Copies of this chain bind each other. A is one copy, B any other.
Amino acid sequence: MHSYTEENYLKALFNLSADKGEVSANELSKQLGIKMPTVNSMMKKLSVKKLVHYESYKPLRLTEKGKKEAGLIIRKHRLTEMFLVQKLGFGWEEVHEIAEQIEHLHSPNFFEKMDALLGYPKIDPHGSPIPDKTGKMEWIKYEKLSSCKEGDTVRLAAVIHTTDDFLKFLNLRELSLGVKLKIKTVEKFDGSMTVSHSKKGSDTLSHIVCDRLLVEKL
């Protein structure tokens, strides 16, 4: 079994290496808020445990074993978030911090029960995929709202970079997963978009916002 601390390193590596598959020690250090030398020695430790490929002055990479372990932690995190929203009535902006703690519990039964009670969900409350029991995770190929064109009609499918603040911003505008949006105008000079949605009339969203919203074209 891995320590609470090790699990956090694995999770951070997994999240950071989503695209490139490689992570610099520096990125990892910043992500975790832990100083470089500490990260360095932990990487050596995880390397001995065959969870990370470590070579001096080279970027870091999770091993297959490391990916699996990390995937399983993220599975617990996302199942928990779903549970908190669906069964305990939390808002999607409130669940991250609690899930950060619960993801480290050692009790297969507990997560098994949550999973069953939720009907084996495939995504968490923010639309991120929940890894399966082998730690494997697959993103459905959504588009960024920012890459859509005037006149497109889309369904909001997922939110990335889910900080509390950003989620509260979306709450205020009643932008929740599943809402249908019609893109009315796209501004050339700053990439901001005016979109309308059924309930709430229309909103203007900055490019940064549109970049964080993943949508499905209808």
Contact = CB atoms under 8 A, between A and B. Distances in A.
Interface of A: 84, 87-90, 94, 97-98, 101-102, 105-107, 109-110, 113-114, 117
A101 B84 CA distance: 17
SS of A interface (majority) = helix
Contacts of A101: 105-107
A107 B113 CA distance: 21
Contacts of A98: 105, 107, 109-110
Nearest to A4: B4
B88 A114 contact: yes
A109 B101 CA distance: 13
Contacts of A94: 109
A126 B90 CA distance: 28
A105 B114 CA distance: 18
A209 to B, nearest CB: 27
Contacts of A107: 97-98, 101
Contacts of A109: 90, 94, 98
List the 7 shortest-distance A-B pairs measured between CB atoms, nearest first.
Answer: A88-B113, A101-B105, A98-B107, A98-B110, A89-B113, A88-B117, A94-B109
